[in-house]
Amino acid sequence: MPPEKLRGKVARLLLLADVELEGHRDWDIQVHDEGFYARVMAEGSLGLGESYMDGWWDCCRLDEYFCRILRMELDSKAFSWRDLVAVLHAKVFNLQRLSRAFQISRHHYDIGNDLFRLMLGKRMIYTSGYWDHASDLDQAQEAKLEIAACKLRLRPGMRVLDIGCGWGGTARFLAERYQVQVVGITVSGEQAKGARECCRGLPVEIRLQDYRNVEGDFDRILSLGMFEHVGLKNYGTFMQMVRKHLEPAGLFLLGTIGKNRSTWRTDPWLTRYIFPNSLLPSAKWISRAVEGLFVIEDWQNFGADYDRTLMAWYDNFQTNWNQVRAKYGERFRRMWEYYLCCCAGAFRARQIQMWQIILSPNGIAGGYHASR
């Protein structure tokens, strides 16, 4: 197709989302390389992201740009043959099997505690904060941990399992604030190292292990921001593991990003550069996985709060970038800001959600009344 026709086709698609080529609004895009149009039409989301990393185009407010194109579902209109191959691959193979469990840590979580420390805030919590009464990121993260603890109805001396414990911020909060014993598991060596430092002197044990190798029984179990890496083929295994290790009168809090539709499609750019082998669950898939194992006691959605959290991370990243510039380089900077802004835009467009779900093995006598 001639270059002018490719440019016209891209321009018409973008106009559906009120985005203009070479426009003057914050969400309009400026193209620096004419090869951009052919690359995007041939490679879809992957070409869009890679061309941004390569400096082929720019946008003052990537988050607003993504909100508009995702609200109009333009990503599906530029679906490429590579997307189809990725979907078929995910359906046929178990991309999250045990032998691949540590791949995500090598690719993402182990890239450097320095980067995450300057971005995430003082507790280094890598999931959404809860902003109802918060004025900054640290307050929002503490509020999220407080509401999770209240939902779990923690009491001193309880034994708690934190699946996907990150850098230990949650485990430390629970041990200090609620006097519980915590076992945290992670597949990231850097996270395990950071978590042990964070929780030194507290009744917290950090294990470098996959959820399928958990041992012991627990009064409460929680998982904040890890279920996105489990994969549909393993949801049943995950829930069975939780049920096996949770006391009959216990509670399980599942915190996960979720999508509105049950699809195998995962954004190919995010898969290649940020979260390999990830798949966002749908409500249907979660419900099927817990059927016969748990009673769903409560299901809260605060997806809009994740938008605000991501933009706070973005601000921290930009403010502190010079501290790590020499280590990571310019292409990484563009990749990382693209990642944070495209995710913020997806939450803002309400295409994806943030769920906290409370599950009990046998149902709470008299009913469960959730904290908000």
Q: Give the confidence band of 370 by pLDDT, cuts at 50, 70, 90.
A: confident
Strand partners, 58: 30
- What are the backbone angles phi and psi of residue 60, rounded to the nearest 5°? -65, -40
Distance CA 139, CA 144 (A): 9
| Span 318-333, average pLDDT | 96
Closest CA to 176 of 193, 194, 192, 160: 160
Residue 108 pLDDT: 76
Q: Give the confidence band of 87 by pLDDT, cuts at 50, 70, 90.
A: very low
Residues listed for the chain = 372
Checking if the pLDDT of 83 tops 70, the result is no
| Span 38-67, average pLDDT | 95
> Do residues 184 and 195 lie in contact, with contact meaning Cβ atoms separated by under 8 Å?
yes
| Span 136-165, average pLDDT | 98
Checking if the pLDDT of 358 tops 90, the result is yes
Checking if the pLDDT of 51 tops 80, the result is yes
Checking if the pLDDT of 157 tops 80, the result is yes
| Span 27-49, average pLDDT | 93
Does 199 participate in catalysis according to the annotation?
Answer: no
Distance CA 294, CA 219 (A): 15
Residue 91 pLDDT: 41
Q: In this predicted model, what pLDDT tens digit does every residue of 121-134 receive, in sequence order?
A: 999 999 999 999 99
Residue 107 pLDDT: 59
Q: Is 96 in a helix, a strand, or coil?
A: coil
- CA-based radius of gyration for the chain: 21
Checking if the pLDDT of 143 tops 80, the result is yes
Task: Note the pTM of the prediction, 2 decimals.
Answer: 0.91
Residue 78 pLDDT: 53
Q: In this predicted model, what pLDDT tens digit does every residue of 192-205 receive, in sequence order?
A: 999 999 999 999 99
Please report, for residues 7, 46, 119, 357, the alpha-carbon distance to residue 158 in angstroms, rounded to integers and kept in the order given. 61, 46, 32, 20
Strand partners, 301: 355
Q: Give the confidence band of 102 by pLDDT, cuts at 50, 70, 90.
A: low
Q: Where are the domains of the chain?
A: 3-79, 99-360
Lowest mean pLDDT among 16-30, 140-154, 264-278: 264-278
Checking if the pLDDT of 347 tops 50, the result is yes
51 half-sphere exposure, CB direction, 13 A CA radius? 24
| Span 9-16, average pLDDT | 92
pLDDT, mean over the chain = 91
The Cα diameter of the chain in Å comes to: 70
Give the whole-number percent of the chain exceeding pLDDT 70: 91
Tokens 């559906």 correspond to what residue?
16
CATH number for region 99-360: 3.40.50.150
Catalytic site residue from 59, 165, 199, 343: 343
